[in-house]
Amino acid sequence: MMKKLLAVTGCPTGIAHTFMAAEALKNAAQEMGVQIKVETNGAIGAEGVLTPGEIKEADCIIVACDKKVDMERFNGKPVLEVPVAQGIRKSKELIEKALSGQVPVRGGQLNSSVTVFEEKSGVGHEIYKHLMNGVSHMIPFVVAGGVLIAVSFLWGIYSFDPNSEQYNPTAALLKQVGGFSMGLMVPILTAYIAQSIADRPGLVAGFVAGTIAAATGSGFLGGIIGGFLAGYVALFLIRSMTSLPKQLEGFKSIFLVPLISVALVGTVMYLLAGPVAAINTYMMNFLANLQNSNPILLGIVIGCMSAFDMGGPVNKAAYVTGTLLLGQGNYYFMAGVSAACITPPILIALATTLFKSKFTEDERAAGAVNYILGATHITEGAIPFAAKSPLTVLPILMLGSSLSAVLTYMMKIQVPAPHGGFLILALVDKPLAWVLCILAGSLIGALLYGFTRKRVEGNHGDIQGRYNMSELGSAK
């Protein structure tokens, strides 16, 4: 009888990794003659949701996620929980483990004669998961607000000022609406870090902590501290009140936990406001000064960060820093970040076009899709190629991104929008120069990649060579 497996995939942004892991698991299961259904937790929500009946009949469940998903529904079933990257790179190994009978039962006891070799997610991975939950909820607010503000500049840089000759009511309205959206950046980040830790009870203290961080100048750093503080305080309160009678459940959830958590977290956030705001200001000033004093060094740092994990925490750190400086009116920094994020997929696309004989048919098809992904600021399109040979490909991608960022900073190009790729060229002050900077870094990297690629790998049609562009979405 054919084994029945289930899987859940999800990455922080719910765009690329989510669907690449799903397809990798499906392909591996098909090759091994195993039945599998995959639930994807993408940017638009969960698709292919696992039903109670399917969960009951499943032999094992693979959860390849870097975001919070409902795990309670899997109690009593063998569950293999790993980061989403392993769903892409080690899909066959995961299927083999799921079929081995050596996966522990969630919320139950495993036969003592069975060796457990489940790869448990460590503290670092849990912290990353909570942080990325906040970042993934924050990014749509940043993108929407940032682009609206950037569009308002089409009427003039001072078009929002009633005392300026450039004043335009429509532009002023767009800037104001965009400003409100950008202003929610830190509170949303903080609230959803807390929500990832303590579920709904963490949201109240999280929103309050984030609002205090934004109002006191603690900014992004204060928001992160507040998110973890609010989440763990709420979680502690929930667990410490488990002995209360069930009749007081509503009183606990609506009154006690919100009141105590907001009072404690709010007080601590105000006490930390001064020191954290000083550190935050120093960091922002340091980066802003570095772009003027040493644009080459800054470009190398930003380029390496953006291409190192392509959508992962290091990439997000560079991107979020750019959005924070963007909110302060610094449009130079984001120009380099965007260039560095666009370069990897364009680099891959050029390499597969210029060196066709060194890539399989599936890889060339995936490479062609990368032209579109790169042009729309979706870095993750390069991941399947980097996953095949990370020690060779990643340094080339980092070099290409660094060159693009360095050239952008040296030419002092300004990009006032936090996303959009080439779709927002009308908002860039030197659009042609910016595109040439990106193409220069991409072309040099593509030539290096093509010349160093020694042989054509077999056309086995797995996820490393193909994926559905429509599933990747259109936002980072």
CATH number of the CATH domain containing 102: 3.40.50.2300
Give the pTM: 0.67
CA dist 8 and 58 (Å) reads: 13
Q: How many domains does the chain have?
A: 3
- Here the tokens at position 373 are 């992904």
β-sheet with 60-65: strand ranges across: 45-47, 35-42, 4-10, 60-65, 79-82
pLDDT of residue 14: 66
| Residue 30 located in a structural domain | yes
The string of DSSP codes covering 306-362 is HHHSSSSHHHHHHHHHHHHHHHTT-HHHHHHHHHHHHHHHHHHHHHHHHTGGGS-HH
Helix (H) or strand (E) holding 5: strand 4-10
pLDDT at residue 44, rounded to an integer: 67
Question: Annotated active-site positions, please?
Answer: 11
Judgement on whether residues 321 and 452 belong to the same structural domain of the protein: yes
The answer to whether position 111 is within a domain reads yes
Residue 408 located in a structural domain:
yes
Q: Is residue 458 part of a domain?
A: yes
Q: Which two tokens stand for residue 412?
A: 């002092």
Structural domain boundaries, residue 111: 4-121
Give the list of residues 6+ apart from residue 227 with CB closer than 8 angstroms, or none: 130, 131, 134, 189, 190, 191, 192, 193, 194, 197, 206, 209, 210
Do the domain assignments include residue 288? Answer: no
3-class secondary-structure state, position 1: coil
Looking at the fold, whether 96 and 130 belong to one and the same domain comes out as: no
Instruction: Using alpha carbons, select from 230, 199, 246, 428 the residue that is nearest to residue 331.
Output: 428
pLDDT of residue 108: 52
Cβ-proximal residues to 28 (8 Å cutoff; 6+ apart), any chain: 91, 92, 94, 95, 462
Identify any residues that bridge with 45 across adjacent strands, giving them in sequence order. Answer: 42
CA–CA separation, 95 vs 462, rounded Å?
15
Distance CA 288, CA 343 (A): 23
List all residues 6 or more positions away from 396 whose beta carbon is below 8 Å from its beta carbon.
347, 445, 448, 449, 452
Task: Among 73, 97, 121, give the residue marking a domain's end.
Answer: 121
The answer to whether residue 278 sits within a structural domain is no
Q: Same domain for 24 and 148?
A: no
What letter would DSSP give residue 40? Answer: E
Q: Report pLDDT for 349.
A: 92
Q: Are residues 147 and 158 in the same domain?
A: yes
Amino acid at 448: L
Q: What is d(CA 328, CA 474) in angstroms, rounded to the nearest whole number?
A: 26
Same domain membership, residue 112 and residue 155: no
3-state secondary structure of 439: helix
- Number of helical (H) and strand (E) elements in the chain, helices listed first: 18, 5
Q: Say if 289 falls within a structural domain.
A: no
Q: Are residues 195 and 260 in the same domain?
A: yes
Q: Which of 76, 95, 121 is the last residue of a domain?
A: 121
- Please report whether residue 284 resides in a domain: no
Which of 19, 1, 5, 17 is closest to 92 using CA atoms? 5
- Pairing verdict, β 35-42 and 45-47: antiparallel
Q: What pLDDT is stored for residue 119 in this prediction?
A: 43
- 143 and 69 in a common domain: no
Q: How far apart are CA 136 and CA 273, in angstroms?
A: 25
How crowded is the C-beta side of 16, counted as CA atoms within 13 Å? 24
CB neighbours of 439 closer than 8 A, spacing ≥ 6? 346
Among candidate residues 96, 121, 146, the one where a domain is terminated: 121
**pLDDT tens over the chain, length 476 residues:** 677 899 999 877 666 778 888 888 998 888 888 889 999 887 667 788 888 888 988 889 999 888 778 888 888 889 998 888 888 888 888 998 888 888 888 875 443 333 333 344 567 777 878 887 887 788 788 778 877 877 887 787 778 888 888 888 998 898 899 889 888 988 999 999 999 888 888 899 999 999 999 898 887 888 889 999 999 999 999 888 887 777 776 777 788 889 999 999 999 999 998 898 888 778 777 777 777 778 888 889 888 888 887 766 677 777 777 777 777 677 888 888 889 889 999 999 999 998 888 888 877 888 888 888 888 877 777 877 877 777 888 899 999 999 999 999 999 898 887 777 787 788 788 899 999 999 999 999 999 998 888 766 444 444 444 444 434 443 44
* Pair type for strands 35-42 and 4-10: parallel
Q: What is the phi/psi pair of residue 64, to 5°?
A: -105, 85
> Do 280 and 223 form a contact (C-beta atoms < 8 A)?
no
- 467 and 321 assigned to the same domain: yes
Decide: helix, strand or coil at residue 85: helix
Residues 325 and 417 both lie in one domain: yes
In this structure, are 152 and 260 located in the same domain? yes
Three-state secondary structure readout of 206-244: HHHHHHHHHHHCCHHHHHHHHHHHHHHHHHHHHHHCCCC
Residues 160 and 98 in one domain: no
Report the pLDDT value the prediction gives residue 407, as an integer from 0 to 100: 94
Beta-carbon neighbour count of residue 250 at 10 Å?
9
Task: State both tokens at 239.
Answer: 């667990």
Instruction: Check residue 209 and give its pLDDT.
Output: 94
Would you say 322 and 281 are in contact if contact means Cβ atoms under 8 Å apart? Answer: no
Please indicate, yes or no, whether residues 184 and 216 belong to a single structural domain of this protein: yes
